[in-house]
Amino acid sequence: MHYEGNIFRPPSEARSLILQVTVGCSHNRCTFCGMYKDKKYREKDLGLIRDDIIEARELYPATRRVFLADGNALAMETAKLLQIMHWLRDSFPYLERIAIYAGPQDILQKTQEELLQLREAGLKMIYLGVESGDDELLREVRKGATAEEMIKAGQKIKEAEIPLSVTVISGLGGVERMESHARETARVLNAINPDYLGVLTLMILDNTPLGLKTKRGEFKPLNRFEVLQELRLLVQELQISNCIFRSNHASNYLPLKGVLAEDKDSILAVLDEALTYRREEWLRPEEWRGL
């Protein structure tokens, strides 16, 4: 398999075949992200991708799931994606789903017809990093989209009936924007109503603009219990139906999971207990956190 650089995938794709069809991220300007700083975005040669599929067919003939990397592979031309997905269906008789990362602008630039074609070709999961619904914060972190564009992108995927998994980042606004980040993010999520919601917790990386800003004292991160306070406000404000909720990523201090809205009260109860007793041993140690 012809992998270039570090390869990242969502936690739920741990048992998937990872097929790298693009290199890096076409946006790659988010101030908090250090994932693709060593790569310049480009689409990989179709011949090379075809060779990888042939090799994977020999190594993993019973493959049921495939994840298309890198950072926002939906930016690839639709015709090329359809060709790749055709090869995958022909090569893996047990294939159940194909999944992909997407940026908000990637989605908005696709027509509804293109999204429907991708769904029919086997695209059964799109991962969208919303990160925040706070417009000022989105500008500060250079996400490249407004809250309204996030909503339009998410709704566009829902209209195409492609399952949508959204991620947001707790603590992204620091102390200064703690409340607005939580409330505005909930507003955007309520408008999208995703099928899956993953809440990560900010990890400040040295190789990012946010890392440098923190070192200069220009960004004050939340402490462990402030992160839980912000998360509680977010969950309290959510009005989402039949959404699988996860906040059990390696970056999170307190693992939580459930289905919104039926488990909302129990999730809030766990957070309330943690915030009432403030037992450090209940939380993941800082040195155990990871991306």
Let me know if residue 2 belongs to a domain.
no
Residue 121 domain-assigned (yes or no): yes
- Residue 172 in any domain: the answer is yes
* Exposure string for 253-266, b = 16+ CB within 10 A, e = fewer: bbebebebeebbee
Please enumerate, as own/partner, the contacts of 212-217 that have beta carbons within 8 Å and a separation of 24 or more: 213/31
Looking at residue 291, its pLDDT comes to 79
Pairing label, strands 164-170, 65-69: unpaired
Report mean pLDDT in 10-residue bins for the chain, 291 residues.
91 95 95 90 96 98 97 95 98 98 97 98 98 98 98 98 98 98 98 98 95 96 98 97 94 96 96 96 93 79
**The dihedral sign for the CA sequence 95, 121, 130, 204:** positive
Q: What's the domain count of the chain?
A: 1
- Residue 1 falls inside a structural domain: no
Among residues 222, 215, 155, 158, which one has the least CA distance to residue 191? 155
Please give the pLDDT value at position 37.
84
**Residue 175 sits in which domain range?**
11-288
Burial of 89 (0-12, 13-18, 19+ CB in 10 A): middle
Q: Which residues are paired to 260 by β-bridges?
A: 243
272 within domain boundaries: yes
Does the residue 231 lie in any domain?
yes
227 domain-assigned: yes
Question: Considering the domain boundaries, does residue 3 fall inside one?
Answer: no
CATH number where 125 lies: 3.20.20.70
pLDDT given for residue 142 in this prediction = 97
Cα separation, 237 vs 219, in Å, equals 25
Contact call for residues 264 and 234 (beta carbons, < 8 A): no
Around Cβ 209, how many Cβ atoms within 10 Å?
18
Give me the residues paired with residue 23 across strands.
42
